[in-house]
Amino acid sequence: MNSRERVITVLRHEEPDRIPIYGWLWANLSGCITEAFGSLAAFEDQYEFDYAHLFGGPPTITPETLEAARTANSGVIEPAAACDIPSTDPDSPEAYQDIKDQVRHHKEMRERFVYVQTPGIFEALNAVFGIENHLMYLMMYPDDLRHVYGRQAEWNKRFAMNCLDLGVDMIHVSDDWGAQHSLMFSVPTWREMMFPYHKVTADAVKERGAFLSLHSDGNINSVLDGVMELGYDVVHPWQESAGMDLNIFHAKYRDRFTVMGGLDVQDTIGFGDLDALERSIRRVLGMFKDGGLLYCTTHFVQNHCTLDELVFAYDLIYSLVRN
């Protein structure tokens, strides 16, 4: 199997020749990795990463437009005003050059599976409202928010379709709903205010025969059945440090989802305890030898992780998945 075939095998709930691996590294560690390895790409090649997380494309709203809207609204944008903020053109070809370049580097040249970061609903609009205000607006202005969410959902769908046209294998929708122990809002609110607008992109992606992935930090146990109903193939990160038990995944969801995660940045990697780190890596990889896991960090490895610890982790991971 090449790397892309290996990932697709896991997504189809079949047994791969080995567990696919990856890591979210560039945001905080690209400097020290580049100094030691020559480039982040060289690190990815050395450890034979099987898939790649692509970023890029147009923003929904430019920073300049958002700043002008804040100024016009005395610094606080409410949902009714947000309906009037102009969005960018998601069909502008020149806005996708960075994604084209990444598809060529990872998929065409290295035969990796590639997935692209796309906006969700709640997380995307936190940039407009601020998270505290946004949570209040869910109760105060639900009708106005539905208009804002509907527009965001249509933009998201166009963005996703354009990425699939460029050869992306999976649409990765980023929408943080979870706090440390539960959702940030009620399950009925999630069902009423998040589900319908995720469904717009989810249905379009599935109609294209592509794979669909959800990222949400925190504990989202209470809406996993709804996530399954939407048609998501992957849940990232299935955060054990927030009460997302991998044993529950095995018992209830393994034939419906694939987990992308397993290397927890909140309490495992980056804390200087190599014995605990090794135990965690061995435990998680041992649970998934016959499939069900795309092994990955639960988020970007934080900058308190030393290069020595990172190399220790990936030396071990590389060795274990090949044994």
232-261: pLDDT as tens digits: 999 999 999 999 999 999 889 999 999 999
Per-residue pLDDT reduced to its tens digit, 91-128: 999 999 999 999 999 999 999 999 999 999 999 999 99
Q: What is the pLDDT of residues 211-228, one digit of tens each?
A: 999 999 999 999 999 999
Residue with tokens 């991998």: 246
- Exposure letters 12-29 (e unless 16+ CB within 10 A, then b): eeeebebbbbbbbbbebb
CATH number, residue 203: 3.20.20.210
Range of the domain at 138: 3-321
Residue 20's pLDDT band (cuts 50, 70, 90): very high
Give yes or no for a contact between 25 and 71, defined as CB atoms under 8 angstroms apart: no
What token pair was written down for 65?
A: 């437009």
- Round the average pLDDT of the chain to a whole number and report it: 97
Tell me, what's the pLDDT at 250?
Answer: 87
> What average pLDDT score do residues 284-295 get?
96
Q: Which DSSP string do the residues of 91-150 spell out, in sequence order?
A: T-GGGGHHHHHHHIIIIITT--EEEEEEE-SHHHHHHHH-HHHHHHHHHH-HHHHHHHHH
pTM: 0.96
pLDDT of residue 251: 86
pLDDT at 241: 96
In 3D space, the residue among 22, 86, 26, 16 whose CA is nearest the CA of residue 56 turns out to be 26
Q: Which pLDDT band, with edges at 50, 70 and 90, does 188 fall under?
A: very high
**Which residue's entry shows tokens 């706090």?**
179
Return the H-helix or E-strand segment holding 41: helix 40-46
Tally of domains within the chain = 1
Between CA 188 and CA 223 the distance in angstroms is 10
Question: Closest Cα to residue 160, out of 95, 109, 204?
Answer: 204
